[in-house]
Amino acid sequence: MKPRRYIRLLFNANKTYDRQVIEGVGRYLNTTQCNWDLFIEDDFRTQQSSLGQWHGDGVIADLDDPNIEYKLSQLQLPVVGVGGSYNDPSLYPQIPYVATDNYQVMKLAFDHLKSLGLTHFAFYGQPRDPRYRWSEQREIAFRQLTHNEGFDYDIFHGHLTSSQNWQQAQQSLCEWLKSLPQPVGIIAVTDSRARYLLQACEQLEFMVPERIAVVGIDNEEVARYLTRTSLSSIEQGCQQMGYKAAQILDQLLTEQIPANATPRLLIPPVQIHPRQSSDFHALYDPYVIQAMHFIRRHACQGIKVEQVLDYVGVSRSNLEARFKSERNHSIHQEIHSFKLEQACELLRATDLPIAQISQYCGYPSLQYMYAVFKKNFQQTPKEFRDLYKHSLFSKREPPFKPVKMAVGN
């Protein structure tokens, strides 16, 4: 039996990134023969004052904070770092290190926005600060990607936000948004920053995604539900990072690799989760753009075509013709399709009762929602949800997203 080892984890689990890395460490622990006891602070936060007092066998730590990196360098025991990748190789710590590939993260977000037909891009990052080196690295990658493609771009850092300066920070963000040409695709350095963007756009009555498409990074579940517009986001390979970091530490402790080895691994992002905030279509008719914005905001409130016409202020025959030209279907089908897509998203992403989802999406009854699903998918909402969960478990692609939906009765 392998000797028992005492391993300290240094992460701030109030961040999605850190929580998923910790989960990856746990998966390694539960799928291998290593005999570890893991110590992490009761409040799941990094307590720097106690670092010098740790007398265990090893440490796995988030090294985005340079102070943590320096203090751990003083310990005479194996340490494996986790953090962001660097454009300059000399910036990497001189210890084993597992990094999220910032360039590939940004490339995935940029390629998504570019594929929508956008030609102007912007980046919303963090202010320059040693604690946010990952933000600076993502900005470098963004500049490289847009420059190589020959696109125009804008950069905004904003403020380090707090309860004291929140309104001032949002006002500065609004001023920047007003200066941007539209349409524009914006990559926010985190989901939290993306949420600030969506709130500012709502305050300014800027149309998302019709004129501003937004992508965040982290696929943070909490942030997804704090705005009316569901957020498109990049899922980083954090669990794999934690698993690999634990594997490297195990190899150091069992002398499978030399004690002075400094392996470095770059982990690519898992995927982008496209949602409403980047569901951009290159629309040119101002009436259709207004109608689409109104439908996205109110479709699940049970609106009818007449309310869309009242909002836009044109006749039905006029707007129907414009919709046919731009969207290749009717106003009614746009309302119907949006409600159905929202229902699919809630079935996939939540455990809400189906009856409650039916109400949220503006269906007059649960029976009506079942009829719509059977007509469009040849399956019930429950079967749709079960198939999606099974596909995740078996690592297959999730159930199809309908490309063209039948019009509801």
Inter-residue contact 207 to 235 (CB < 8 Å)? no
Confidence band of 382 (pLDDT split at 50, 70, 90): very high
Instruction: Tell me which DSSP letter residue 116 carries.
Output: T
Question: Which residues have C-beta within 8 Å of that of residue 267, sequence separation ≥ 6?
Answer: 98, 99, 100, 101, 236, 237, 240, 241, 244
Characterise 297 by phi-psi region: left (phi > 0), alpha (psi -120 to 50), beta (else). alpha
**DSSP conformation class of 150:** T
DSSP state of 12: -
Tell me which fold the domain 5-101+237-268 belongs to. Rossmann fold (3.40.50)
Mean pLDDT of the chain: 88
Residue that is written with structure tokens 């005999």 in the block? 35
Instruction: Quote the CA–CA distance of 173 and 197 in Å, as a whole number.
Output: 7
Task: Please give the class, per CATH, of domain 286-393.
Answer: mainly alpha
Beta strands at 79-84 and 97-100: parallel, antiparallel or unpaired: parallel
Pick the residue with more confidence: 13 or 365?
365
DSSP 165-212: THHHHHHHHHHHHHHS-SSEEEEESSHHHHHHHHHHHHHHT--TTTTE
Residue written as tokens 């804008």? 154
| For the chain, domain boundaries | 5-101+237-268, 102-236+273-278, 286-393
Model pLDDT for residues 274-330, shown as the tens digit of each residue: 988 998 876 778 888 889 888 888 888 889 999 999 999 999 999 999 998 888 899
**Residue 156 pairs with which residues in a beta bridge?**
124
Average pLDDT score over residue span 135-151: 96
Q: What is the C-alpha radius of gyration for the chain, rounded to an integer number of angstroms? A: 24
Task: State the number of CA atoms in the 13 A half-sphere of 351 facing the CB.
Answer: 0
Q: Note whether 5-101+237-268 and 102-236+273-278 share their fold.
A: yes
pTM over 0.85: no
| 271-273 sheet: strands from edge to edge | 152-156, 120-124, 184-188, 212-217, 232-235, 271-273
Mean pLDDT of 201-212: 91
Q: Domain 102-236+273-278: which topology?
A: Rossmann fold (3.40.50)
Joined tokens for residue 64? 């985005």
Q: Write out pLDDT tens, residues 36-83.
A: 999 887 665 666 656 666 678 999 999 988 888 888 877 788 999 999
